[in-house]
A = this chain, B = another copy of it.
Amino acid sequence: MPELRKDPVLGRWVIISTERAKRPKDFKSAPEKKVVSPKACPFCPDNEGATPPEIMAYRDPSTQPNTRGWTLRVIPNKFPALLIEGEINRRGEGIYDRMNGIGAHEVIIETNEHEKDLSDLEIEHFRNVIYAYQERTLDLKKDQRLRYVMIFKNFGAAAGASLEHNHSQLIATPIIPKRVIEEMDGARRYFDYRERCIFCDIVVQETKDRKRLITENNSFISICPFAPRFPFEIWILPRRHASNFEEASREELDDLAAILKDCLIRLKKALNTPPYNYVIHTTPLTLKGIDFYHYHIEIIPVLTHIAGFEWGTGFYINPTGPEESAAYLKNIL
């Protein structure tokens, strides 16, 4: 059973993941990337038996679950960081706190084509990826033990992807993550003072200034944020105030698919297919219609290394200003 442990100083939780237990020798000569042929890839068609049974799939209605005939497939992670079965069982150990690692850890296999990059998918297919994110979130929201659903994608070994076949992941946690609490608190403080949502204000200012704006469509804008941690960091923000990703309309999801695909194509062209992470930032499952918070996506290309200064201070040294990154990304196509 994986275990959640709390740092007694910072209140930061970590998952000690026994399902993925590693001993020293596992780190000594870890290959940077496991390249596998489609034949051996557990995410490829005809290998459905190599993964746990699917939770959902977009598939030809004449086909059976866990056989070929799908275009997108959601499965439980075979080596889950958190397990769906069991009790949370919070307990102490002297000054320390721990609980069982209960939650959900799912993999969204975005396409049946081993070599295909997410940004290469046809827009109709790309929309399905976004629909699947929403569908899974709405389903997990019914589980009373869960407080937060985090959807993210790791692309490339340096961004933490352990398999090259494109996929996203979803982790649902029984606690609200520290980073989410910090974001909510920051946004709430701004709202208390101004009676406006900080993200709405960002949308207004960036749409007016345009110097950090990359692209826009009916429902979304993409920007390089004012204080980015990394070169070419991108945020995608809904124009309309909306706190919960899972309540977005079908029309908004289509616009989100379009702008996310566009941003990924720009990153790929600008930086020669860099490794990247993206994360959907949204409110905890227990909150609804929050005035002060606004869901959004943050995309981080992995171009620099996190070093001692960042670890110690929590602030970042970024060698490329967002105005320069935005100008470059805007004109790349």
Residues of A whose CB lies within 8 Å of any CB of B are 3, 5-18, 20-24, 27-30, 81, 93-96, 148, 150, 152-154, 157-161, 169, 171, 173, 177-180, 182-183, 186-187, 190, 198-199, 201-202, 205, 209, 225-229, 231-232, 270-272, 274, 277-281, 298, 300, 302-309, 311-322, 324, 328
Contacting residue for A317 out of B17, B178, B227, CB 8 A: B17
CA distance A226 to B307 in the complex (A): 22
Interfacial chain B residues near A178, Cβ < 8 Å:
313-315
Interfacial chain B residues near A280, Cβ < 8 Å:
312
Interfacial chain B residues near A95, Cβ < 8 Å:
198, 201-202, 205
Interfacial chain B residues near A209, Cβ < 8 Å:
94
Nearest-CB distance from A239 to chain B (Å)? 16
The 7 A-B pairs at the shortest CB distance, nearest first, are namely: A160-B307, A152-B308, A179-B314, A177-B313, A279-B312, A5-B227, A277-B308
CA distance A13 to B22 in the complex (A): 35
CA distance A313 to B282 in the complex (A): 11
CA distance A281 to B9 in the complex (A): 12
Interfacial chain B residues near A328, Cβ < 8 Å:
23-24
Query: Which of A159, A182, A306, A312 counts the most chain B CB atoms within 10 A?
Result: A312
Nearest-CB distance from A12 to chain B (Å)? 6
With A13-B227, A81-B309, A148-B313 given, name 4 new contacts (CB 8 A): A9-B199, A95-B205, A152-B308, A159-B305
Q: Which residue of B is nearest A175, CB measured?
A: B315
Interfacial chain B residues near A321, Cβ < 8 Å:
3, 16, 18, 21
Q: Are A312 and B9 neighbours in the complex by a CB distance under 8 Å?
A: no
Number of copies: 2
CA distance A94 to B207 in the complex (A): 13
Interfacial chain B residues near A300, Cβ < 8 Å:
311
Q: Are A305 and B9 neighbours in the complex by a CB distance under 8 Å?
A: no
Nearest-CB distance from A85 to chain B (Å)? 19
CA distance A94 to B198 in the complex (A): 12
Nearest-CB distance from A309 to chain B (Å)? 6
Q: Are B5 and A154 neighbours in the complex by a CB distance under 8 Å?
A: no
Q: Which residue of B is nearest A280, CB measured?
A: B312
Q: Are A15 and B317 neighbours in the complex by a CB distance under 8 Å?
A: yes
Given known A-B contacts A14-B316, A17-B319, A9 and B308 have beta carbons under 8 A apart: no
Nearest-CB distance from A25 to chain B (Å)? 9
Given known A-B contacts A24-B270, A171-B309, A320-B23, A5 and B281 have beta carbons under 8 A apart: no
